[in-house]
């Protein structure tokens, strides 16, 4: 852009300023070369599918590799003495392996033989570890069974000796028991007789008390009957007296009325 000087102009405040004007800008044309799309739709779709398959394959390989690392960690744990000794640890490791197998079954291999082989190798390794743990359990079970058998044999011998001792003690104690039983029976019989005598005495006392009560009751009943008879006689006398009084009152009234009329 170029600036050119012009004549001075006077401003309203009496100052003189030069006036400028701008030269017009120059338009430059740039040639543009348009390139047409050489790929067709089928080629583009094929390229997109290829990229997507590559992404899915890498993702699946990462999953399988993570599971392979997990199996390697489990294998290192299996070789530890704690897992060999503790049954709970073995059960936990077996559950972890089962979960990994389920995850491997859920992984899609997208019909690629390479992915399928990788998954098969990891599955074989997991199954081998599981069989190793099962063999450990079987060995422990066999050792436990042998120990149990030895203990049972020792217990059988001890039981036989104890049974013989018990038999001898029972034979020795049978005589004492018979004597004690006889003594107990004699004591029980004497106690029973004493109890029967006491019961008979109590029954006799109770019968005597009943007889006394009956005598008292009969005396009360006779006195009550006599009292009732006296009351009945008094009541009859009172009724007769009232009847006679009424008759005399009537006669007096009749005589009084006759005297009044005369």
Quick check: 1 pLDDT over 50?
Answer: no
Best CATH choice for the domain 41-163 from the list 3.30.70.100, 1.10.3720.10, 1.10.760.10, 1.20.58.120 = 1.20.58.120
Q: Comparing 34-43, 153-162, 194-203, which segment has the lowest mean pLDDT?
A: 34-43
**What mean pLDDT is predicted for residues 37-51?**
77
Q: What is the pTM of this model?
A: 0.38
- Using the Cα atoms of residue 66, residue 70, residue 75 and residue 76 in order, give the sign of their dihedral: positive
Q: What is the residue extent of each domain of the chain?
A: 41-163
Quick check: 2 pLDDT over 50?
Answer: no
Helices (H), 7-112: 41-78, 81-85, 87-106
Q: Comparing 32-36, 46-50, 51-55, 161-165, which segment has the lowest mean pLDDT?
A: 32-36
d(CA 151, CA 158): 10
Cβ partners under 8 Å of residue 87, min gap 6: 137, 140
Quick check: 106 pLDDT over 60?
Answer: yes
**What mean pLDDT is predicted for residues 195-208?**
89
Give tens-digit pLDDT for 220-255. 898 899 988 999 888 999 989 888 888 888 888 888
Cβ atoms 236, 242 nearer than 8 A: no
- Structure confidence at residue 80 (pLDDT): 59
- Structure confidence at residue 3 (pLDDT): 46
């Amino acid at each position: 852009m170029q600036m050119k000087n012009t004549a001075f102009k006077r401003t309203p405040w009496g100052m003189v300023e030069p006036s400028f004007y701008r030269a017009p800008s120059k338009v430059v044309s740039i040639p543009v070369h348009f390139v047409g799309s050489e790929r067709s739709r089928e080629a583009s779709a094929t390229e997109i599918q290829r990229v997507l398959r590559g992404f899915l394959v890498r993702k699946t390989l990462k999953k399988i590799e993570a599971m392979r690392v997990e199996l390697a960690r489990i294998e290192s744990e299996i070789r530890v003495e704690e897992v060999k000794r503790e049954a709970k640890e073995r059960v936990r490791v077996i559950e972890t392996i089962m979960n990994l197998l389920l995850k491997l079954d859920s992984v899609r291999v997208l019909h690629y033989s390479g992915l399928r082989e990788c998954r098969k190798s990891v599955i074989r390794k997991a199954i081998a570890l599981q069989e190793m743990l099962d063999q450990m359990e079987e060995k422990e079970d066999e050792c436990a069974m042998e120990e149990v058998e030895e203990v049972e044999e020792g217990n059988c011998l001890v039981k036989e000796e104890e049974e013989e001792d018990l038999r001898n003690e029972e034979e020795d104690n049978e005589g004492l028991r018979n004597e004690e039983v006889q003594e107990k029976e004699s004591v029980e019989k004497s106690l029973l007789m004493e109890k029967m005598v006491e019961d008979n005495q109590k029954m006799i006392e109770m019968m005597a008390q009943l007889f006394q009560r009956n005598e008292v009751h009969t005396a009360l009943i006779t006195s009550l009957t006599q009292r009732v008879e006296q009351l009945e006689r008094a009541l009859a006398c009172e009724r007769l007296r009232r009847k006679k009084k009424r008759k005399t009152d009537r006669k007096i009234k009749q005589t009084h009325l006759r005297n009044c009329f005369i």
